[in-house]
Amino acid sequence: MSRNHDPEFVRPDSRSVRPEPVEGQDNARPGLRQAQPERVGSDQPERVGSDQPARLLPPLLTALRAGRGFAHKRDIARVMQSLDDDAPNAASGPAVTPTAAPTTIPNGDDCAVLPLPGGGHQLLAIEGLMPDFVQQQPWFAGYSAVMVNLSDVAAMGGRPTAVVDALWSTDEATTAELLRGMRAACAQYGVPLVGGHTNLRSAGAQLAVAVLGRAERLISSFAARTDDRLLVATDLRGAWQGDAPFWNASTDAPAARLQADLTLLPQLAEAGLVDAGKDISMAGVLGTLLMLLECSGCGARVELARLPCPPRTHGGPDWHADSNAAHAARLRWLSAFPSFGFVLAVRPALAAQVQARFAEHGIACADVGEVQAGTRLDVALGAEQACLWDLAESGFILGGPVTSTSTSTSTSTSASASAAASTKSGKERHHA
- What pLDDT, in 10s, does the model give residues 365-417? 999 999 999 999 999 999 999 999 999 998 888 766 666 655 554 433 344 33
Asked if residue 302 lies in contact with residue 368, where contact means CB atoms within 8 angstroms, the answer is yes
pLDDT higher than 60, residue 182: yes
CB 363 within 8 A of CB 154: no
Task: Quote the CA–CA distance of 125 and 83 in Å, as a whole number.
Answer: 17
Strands 206-215 and 341-346: unpaired
Which range has the worst mean pLDDT, 32-41, 278-287, 356-365?
A: 32-41
* CATH architecture for segment(s) 110-216: 2-Layer Sandwich (3.30)
Q: pLDDT category, 85, cuts 50, 70, 90?
A: low
Instruction: List the one residue out of 296, 299, 300, 298 whose CA is nearest residue 423.
Output: 296
**DSSP H or E run through 356:** helix 351-360
- Identify residue 114 by its one-letter amino acid code: L
- Mean pLDDT across the chain, nearest whole number? 81
Q: How far apart are alpha carbons 54 and 97 in whole angstroms?
A: 50
Q: Is the pLDDT of residue 425 over 90?
A: no
Every domain of the chain and the residues it spans: 11-84+220-427, 110-216
| Distance of alpha carbon 140 from alpha carbon 252, whole angstroms | 12
**Whole-number Å distance between alpha carbons of 172 and 170:** 7
User: What is the rounded distance in angstroms from the CA atom of residue 196 to the CA atom of residue 377?
Assistant: 40
Q: Quote the Cα angle for 336-341-343, to 5°.
A: 105
> Closest by alpha carbon to 333, among 280, 389, 390?
280
Are the C-beta atoms of residues 161 and 191 closer than 8 Å to each other?
yes
More confident residue, 80 or 265: 265
Residue 16 — pLDDT band, cuts 50, 70, 90?
A: very low
Q: Which string of b and e fits 257-280 if b means at least 16 CB within 10 Å?
A: bbbebbebbbebbeebbbbbbbbb
> What's the CATH fold of domain 11-84+220-427?
Phosphoribosyl-aminoimidazole Synthetase; Chain A, domain 2 (3.90.650)
Tell whether pTM > 0.85.
no
Residue 202 has pLDDT above 80, yes or no: yes
Residue 207 pairs in a beta bridge with: 167
